[in-house]
Amino acid sequence: MKTMQAYRFALDLTAGQERDVLAHAGAARLAHNWALARVKAVMDQRAAERTYGVPDGQLTELVSWSLPALRKAWNAVKADVAPWWAQCSKEAFNTGLDTLARALKNWADSRSGKRRGRPAGFPRFKSRRRGVASVRFTTGAIRVEPDRMHVVLPRLGRLKLHESARKLARRLEAGTARIMSATVRRDGGRWYVAFCVEVDRAERGPARPDSVVGVDVGIKHLAVLSTGELVDNPRHLAAAQQRMRRLGRALARKQGPDRRTRQRPSNRWQRAADRLGRAHARVANLRRDGLHKLTTRLVREHGTIVVEDLNVTGMLANRRLARHIADAGFAEIRRQLTYKTGWNGGRLLVADRWYPSSKTCSGCGAVKTKLALSERIYTCRACGLVLDRDLNAARNLAAIAAQYNTAGSGPVSGRGADQKTRPSGQVAVKRQPGTALAGKTGTVPPQGGTTDHALTMRIR
C-alpha cells in the first residue's frame, strides 16, 4: 500500500547556515508579496473602472494566478525585482508563488461555493517579523547522508540533524520510500526539516482484529474506553500556565513593536518573545507526543474504533472550557485515528454529531430527554443501571459497531438524531472512505433493547 507520509527532524544549524536559510525564506516572501501586489493591483483597477461605468468587456484584462502563470511572470521580471536572485535556489521563489496560488484558489473556491468549511479570506502580504520562515524544495539534491545524522538540500548543502534519521534512511535503503519534497521551517525558536515521502507500507493488521472499542473523549479524562480503561488527561497547558504567565509579564515590561509609530522592538523584547515561544512549542510537542502514543496504541490493538463527530469549533465558544478543550486536542485525536486505522488495516466508525451517547442507557437502550453536564453518574430509571457517564457513552459507541456487524444488509440511510433528543433516537454512523460496505442499508435494534427503541444507523 503506497501512501504519503511525513518525517520531521530537528536541525542544528550553524550561524552561516541559518543566514542562508533565512535568505531563502526571504526570497519566498519576496516572490509571494510581488505576485500578490500584481494580482491585487489588477483587481483594484477593475473595481475602479466599474465605478466609472466601464463595460465588462472593456475592463483591464485579468491576471492568471495559476502557478505556471505566476512563475512565467516572475521569471520575466526577477532580474529587476531581485537582482540577487541567482544567490538563492529557484525553489525558494517557487515556494512563495505556490503558496499564493493555493491561497488565491482557496479564496475563489470559497466564494463560489466549491470549497467546504470556513470561508477563506483574501491572501495577505507576508511580514518578515511576524511571518513564519519556511522554504520548500521539490527538485535537486535531496537526500539523507549515510551517517544518518546529516541531510543534503539544494544550495543549502549539508545540514546536521539534532536526531538520527535512521527510520527514514532504512526505508530509503530498502527501496520502500521515495522523497517527494523537503520543507525547512522555523518553529518555536528551532529549525526543522520535514520530508514528504511516498512510502510503500506493508499490509498490517491489528493485534485483535475482532476487537471493538468505543472512545469517548473528555476533559477530566482524555479518553474513556468501552473496555473500562481511563486515559488520564495530562493537561500540558495547565501545567505550564504559571511559567507562561511569568514569561508573558516579562515580555510586557519590554519595549515591543508599535505599528502606529513604526517602533521596532528592542533586543530584550525579542529575547523574551523567543522564550515565550519556546514554552508554547514545548507544550505543543508534549501534547503531540501523547496523542500519537495513544492513537497508535489503539489502532495497533483494536480492529474497530468508534468515536463521536464532535463540534469542536462550537465547543470552543464556551469561554469557561475553551482552554481545556483546546489543550486536550479532540480534533487531533480523530484526525490521527482516521489515517492510522487505514495504515494498520482497521476501520474507524464515526457516530453522528447528534447521537445521544451520554443520554442512552448502555444496558436497556432507554434514552433520557435531558442530562445535565454536572451529572457525572448515569442512573437509568428503566433498568436501574448506575454507571459512570463517560463509560456509559463509550459502551454505547462500541454497541454501534456491534449493531453494524449484525445488520443483515447494513445501515439505513438517514439523517440521524437532531438537537432535540427523543425517547427513541436514531444513530448515524459515518465510515471512513475506502470501505466496501459503504452505502448499504438496513435496520437493527439496539443491543439489549426492543424494537420500540430501534436505532437507525447510516454510513456516509
Marked catalytic residue, from 98, 308, 327, 352: 308
390 is catalytic: yes
The answer to whether the CB of 183 falls within 8 A of the CB of 165 is no
Name the E strands within 218-354. 221-225, 230-232, 302-308, 347-351
Marked catalytic residue, from 20, 216, 327, 352: 216
Grid cell for residue 397: 459507541
Helix locations, 188-266, DSSP H: 236-239, 241-252
Euclidean distance between the first and the last CA atom of the chain, given in angstroms as a whole number: 24
Strand-pair category, 386-388 with 377-379: antiparallel
Q: How far apart are CA 437 and CA 430, in angstroms?
A: 11
Residue with cell 495577505: 124
216 is catalytic: yes
Could you give the C-alpha distances from 131 to 92, 125, 186, in angstroms and in order?
Answer: 15, 9, 10
Name the E strands within 111-226. 134-137, 143-144, 150-153, 157-161, 177-187, 190-200, 208-217, 221-225
Q: How far apart are CA 338 and CA 236, in angstroms?
A: 24
61 is catalytic: no
Question: How buried is 235 (Cβ within 10 angstroms: 0-12 exposed, 13-18 middle, 19+ buried)?
Answer: middle
Marked catalytic residue, from 20, 98, 327, 390: 390
- Among all residues, which ones are annotated catalytic? 216, 308, 390
